[in-house]
Amino acid sequence: MSERSFEGKAVLVTGGSRGIGAAVARRFGSLGAHVAVGYRSGRDAAEALCAEIGAAGGTAVAVAGDVAVPAQAQAMVGRAHDAFGRLDVLVNAAGVGPYLPLAEIDEAHCRAIFDTNVLGTIMLTQAAAPLLPSPGGRIVHFASRLAFNPLPTSSVYSASKAAVVTLVHGFARELGPRGITVNAVAPGVIETDMTADILRERGEQILAATPLRRIGQPDDVAGVVTFLASADAGWVTGRTIIADGGLN
């Protein structure tokens, strides 16, 4: 992949204002892409990231919306397309992941997780598919290693990410004849503000069990995402890439 391999292409990164999503947006900007940074509530962080990408010579705009609300998910895709006159790549890094033990799971917990992680995946894909180039369009969603190996109390979140794995496989079959690839990345524990408590409580245990003997960083995942979005990955579709340093 060359330093400007996404020159002139337009990318929407939902959940792009923080953590892994911000690293993905930053990486696409450095590779020459026009980046729409999707966010739900982190307006200041999204605009600061856009300014950072712009200062580095890139182009970025902030796009607000809640992927759990179908109309807003569709509008985010439309605004990203309108901002740059095209849309080549959709990266859906938006997600929520509160954990609860079985005895405390209720309808609100299930709906909050499934509306964002599953319904959002469906609605974003549906909205982006007609706008992506055919052939050459790229869609990358986020699953989790917990889809394959759930922890106690993570059951609902893990199930939502297992649904993403299945959706990616199914959508890849539907969109394959148009030359559009659909894949997912399933990270393990990555060092972000959202995992601070996990790393504080179990960091040494995770480190000891990880063959690469370090905690994953957002840039580790960003590299996998940009590969899946690149021309080099044109023969990869319907797949979920586990990026966890060999832990799973």
Backbone angles phi, psi at 181, to 5 degrees: -95, 145
- Give CA torsion, residues 189, 54, 184, 85, to 10 deg: 160
Q: Are 38 and 83 in contact (CB under 8 A)?
A: no
Question: Pick the catalytic residue: 120, 157, 181, 222?
Answer: 157
Name residue, tokens 């405390």. Answer: 104
Is 39 in the active site? no
Question: What element of type H or E holds 181?
Answer: strand 181-187
Using CA atoms, how far residue 201 sits from 152, 190, 195, 197, in Å, is: 15, 14, 10, 6
Distance, in Å, from the CA atom of 57 to the CA atom of 69, rounded to the nearest integer, reads 33
Q: To which H or E segment does residue 199 belong?
A: helix 196-209
Q: Is the peptide bond before 135 cis (omega within 30 degrees of 0)?
A: yes
Report helix, strand or coil for 72: helix
Burial 7-17 (b: 16+ CB within 10 A, else e): eebbbbbbbbb
User: Tell me, what DSSP letter sits at residue 97?
Assistant: -
Write phi, then psi, for 40 (nearest 5 degrees). Answer: -100, -50
Catalytic (active-site) positions: 157
